[in-house]
Amino acid sequence: MEKRKILVVDDVELNRAILAELFHDAYEVLEAENGLQALELLEEHHEDVLVVLLDVIMPVMDGFEMLRNMALRQWRERIPVVLITSENSDDALLRGYELGVSDIINKPFNPNIVKRRVANTVELYLHKRDLEALVLKQVETLDRQAQKLNRINEFIIDTLSTVVEFRSCESGKHIRRVREVTRLLLESLSARFPEYALAPGVIEKIASAASMHDIGKIAIPDAVLNKPGKLTPEEFEIMKTHSLKGCAFLQSINEGQEEEYYRYCYDICRSHHERWDGSGYPDGLAGNSIPIWAQVVSLADVYDALTSERVYKSAYTHAQAVSMIVNGECGVFNPKLMTSFLSIASQLEHGATEPPARTGRIPGPVEPAVPKDALSARTLWLLELEREKYRVLSELSGDIIFNYDAKSDTLESSEKSYEAFGRDISIPRARRAILRSDLIHRDDRRTVLASLAAITPKRPRCRMELRIKTASGAYEWFEVYVNGLWDAESGIGRLGYLGKLTNINERKAEANRWREQANTDPLTGLANRKRIEESVAEALSSGEEGAAFLFIDVDDFKIVNDTLGHMFGDEVLRYIAGEIRRRVRATDIVGRVGGDEFIVFLRNIRSVETVSRKAGEICAAFKSRYGEALPHGGVSCSVGIALYPKDGSRYGELMDRADQALYAAKEEGKNRFAFYDAAFGSAKFPSVLSEVESGE
C-alpha cells in the first residue's frame, strides 16, 4: 500500500533530515528547500499531501509568501500547514494564524510532541475531507456543465470577434493574442501586488472576456474602419464610438449571461481606451476608478497593435513597442501594471502566448533518496557537517562560539578560545567557575548577571561589552552576543545559551583615542568646553561635599595678539594653561572653554580662605612672564568664583554666577579675583574683592 505523503519545507537540510527521521515510518516524506520548490511539488502532489511542515525564514520564497500562494491556488483549505520555526514573536505568530496555519511549533522542539500534534492535525483534516467527498460528485457534475457552457460561450465570442477582425482586415489572430497577453499580465500582477491578487479561475474569465474588447467595431462604417491613412478628427470621433456601441450590443444579449462574466465583458468593452491620467475615452476615468481588468486589456491591446501590421502602418519590433509604451507615447498606464508588463516582456519577445509549462517535480533533494535504514546515518552525517561548518566559520572570522548547557552546567567553546584565554574549551560547573574566578573583570560581573536575567522567550537575545582576562594576563574588551535556548513546548524551561565573543579591544582603544581627541583643546591639551561641562556635571552627581568653580579670563589678551601676533598669543595661552595645571591638584578639573578663557573646578574643598589662596596663586603666576615683551608689563588674569553648593548645584548655575563675579573683578581694575555673593544680586559687586600684587 502506498504511503501517505508529508511535505517538509526548510532551507536547512539538517532540519529537513531531522523531521524526515521523525515521520518516515508513517509517511512518504517530500522535501523542498524554499517556498517556490514546495509549490512546484504541491502542483504535482497536492491531492496526496496530507500536511505541510513549513519553516518561515527561507530564501527565494519565505513561508508567509508560500501560504499566500497556497491560498491563491485554493490549497490552504484542503492541506493543513504546521509552522515549525524559531521565530516566536507575537507578530509572527499572529501573522501565521491569519494566513491560515493549523498549528505553530517553535524550535527547538520535543520530537514526540511534534509527532502527536501533526497526527492530530492530519486526523482533523482527513475527517473534513470525508465530509467534502459527500458532495464532490455533485460539484463535478456542475463543473462539467459549466465547462460545456463556457466552451459554447467562447465559441460564440470567438466567432463574433473574428467577424470584427475580418471586417477590419486583420489577421484573425489579434483577439487570441490580446487574450493570452491579458492572461500573462494578470498572473504577473496578481503575484507581485496583493491588492490586485486574483484567483486563477477569475483570471481565465477576464482573459476570455478580453476577446470582446472591440466588438463595437462591428457597427463602424468600412470607410472609417479600414481607412489606410490617418483619420480626420471627425472620423476619429466616429471610431471612438465603438466602445459605447459594443456596450449596447452586450446589453442586448445579456439575457442568461453569468453576472460576473458579463461585468468583465462590459467593463473591458467600455473602458479599454481609458488612461491612468484621465486622458482616455469615453468617460475620462483616471487611476483606480478604471477597472483593473480594463486597464490590463488596454495595455495588451496597445502592445499587440504596435507589433502587428495594420492597413495604416507597418509592424514595430518588440523593442520599439516596449520603448514607446514605457516612454508614454501610447498614453499613461498604471505604474504597477507597467512593472508587471516589463516582467513578462522577455516572454512576449520570444512569442510566448501561454504560461510556462509546469514541470511538476523540481530538481534537487525533493524526496529522500536513501533507504529507510540509512536515514539515521544521513542525519548524523549532516549534523557532523554542520558542526564542521561552524568550526571553520568560527576560525575564519576570529569569533569564539560558545554553548552553555543549563542541565549539566557545562560551558563549551570553539578551539579559538584556548588560544585567546589559555583555558580548557570545556568548563564543568561553569557558573561558579566563571563568576567566582578572575576571568571576567569584577566590575563587569553584574552586567553579565543582569543581562542574562533579562533574557526571556519573548526577548531571547542580548549584547554585552565585557573585559575578559586573556592568555597574556591582561584584560581585553570583548563584544558578547547571547541567545537563550528554551523548551519550545512549555516556554519556561531554560535549556541554556548559545553565543559568540568578538575581540573589540583595538576598536575600543581607537574609539577612546578619538573620544579623547574630541574632548581635548588642541592648543593647550586641556579639556575643551564639552568635556569640562561633562566632567563637572559628573563630579556634582557623585556627591561633592563642597567645591569651587573658578572662571578665569586673561586681561587685555587682544593687545597681546595685536602687538606680537597670534603665534605669540598661542604661546602665551599654552604657558598659562601649564601654569594653571601646575597650581591645582590632579583630581581637580581644568579646561579651556574658548579664546583666552579657562575654568578650574576645585573638588572637595569648603574653606573660603583656601579657595582665595589658590585664586591668588593663579592670578600671580603670570605677572613675572613676558614683562619685557609686553608694553603693560606682563600677563595678568581676572578670576570669578562661585561656591558649590551655596551659589548653585548645577554646571549652568555655577558658570553664570562665576561669570558675574569675573565681570565685577574686571570692573574693579583687573588682575583680581572675586567671589559671587547672592545678597547683592547679579548686578552688584561681590562681597569679597581682592587685588593680587605683581610677583606674588
For each of the domains in the chain, give its residue range(s) and CATH number, in order of start: 4-138 (3.40.50.2300), 168-349 (1.10.3210.10), 397-510 (3.30.450.20), 519-691 (3.30.70.270)
Helices 259-271 and 200-209: crossing angle in degrees, nearest 10, is 50
What pLDDT was estimated at residue 361?
Answer: 35
In whole angstroms, give the CA distance from residue 496 to residue 653. Answer: 52
The mean pLDDT value of the chain amounts to 82
Q: In 10 A of CB 338, how many CB atoms?
A: 15
3-state secondary structure 313-369: ECCCCHHHHHHHHHCCECECCCHHHHHHHHHCHHHHHCCCCCCCCCCCCCCCCCCCC
Rounded to whole angstroms, the Cα distance separating 413 from 158 reads: 73
0.85 exceeded by pTM: no
Stretches where the chain sits below pLDDT 70 are 1-3, 129, 132-139, 141-172, 254-258, 311-312, 351-397, 487-493, 624, 627-633, 679-696
3-state secondary structure 574-592: HHHHHHHHHCCCCCCEEEE
Q: Which residues pair with 602 in a beta bridge?
A: 548
- Report the C-alpha gap between 607 and 540 in whole angstroms: 18
Distance CA 82, CA 121 (A): 8
Cα–Cα distance list, 573 to 31, 289, 585, 598, 600 (Å) = 77, 75, 20, 10, 15
Question: Which pLDDT score is estimated for 212?
Answer: 82
Q: Are 414 and 401 in contact (CB under 8 A)?
A: yes
Contact 278, 285 (CB under 8 A): yes
Which letter does DSSP use for residue 675 in this model? E
CA pair distance 686, 664, nearest whole angstrom: 7
pLDDT of residue 650: 93
The pLDDT score that the predictor gives to residue 657 is 94
- C-alpha span between 116 and 386 (Å, rounded): 28
pLDDT, residue 148, reads 63
Q: Which H/E stretch holds residue 300?
A: helix 292-307
* pLDDT tens-digit readout, 316-341: 898 898 989 989 898 999 999 999 89
Give the pLDDT of residue 489: 52
Question: d(Cα 609, Cα 404) in Å, to the nearest integer?
Answer: 61
CB 488 within 8 A of CB 105: yes
Per the CB < 8 A criterion, the answer to whether 180 and 210 are in contact is no
Q: Residue 630 and residue 637: Cα distance in Å, rounded?
A: 14
Q: How many CB atoms lie within 10 A of CB 28?
A: 17
342-347 contacts, C-beta under 8 A, 24 or more apart: 343/188, 343/192, 344/184, 344/185, 344/188, 345/318, 347/184
Closest CA to 524 of 461, 473, 570: 570
Question: CA nearest 49: which of 21, 103, 96, 9?
Answer: 9
* pLDDT attached to residue 145: 64
pLDDT in tens, 534-550: 999 999 998 888 999 99
DSSP characters over 119-183: HHHHHHHHHHHHHHHHHHHHHHHHHHHHHHHHHHHHHHHHHHHHHHHHHTT--S-HHHHHHHHHH
The 3-state secondary structure of 439-458 reads CECHHHHHHHHHHHHCCCCC
246 to each of 24, 272, 463, how far by Cα in Å?
61, 11, 68
Separation between Cα atoms, residue 347 and residue 334, nearest integer Å: 20
Helix (H, G, I), strand (E, B) or coil at 106: strand
Q: What pairs with residue 463 in β-bridges?
A: 481
The side-by-side arrangement of strands in the sheet containing 27-32 is 27-32, 4-9, 49-54, 81-85, 103-106
Query: CA-based angle 441:447:453, to the nearest 5?
Result: 135
> What's the CA gap between 193 and 178, in Å, rounded?
22
Q: Which cell numbers in the block locate residue 592? A: 579651556
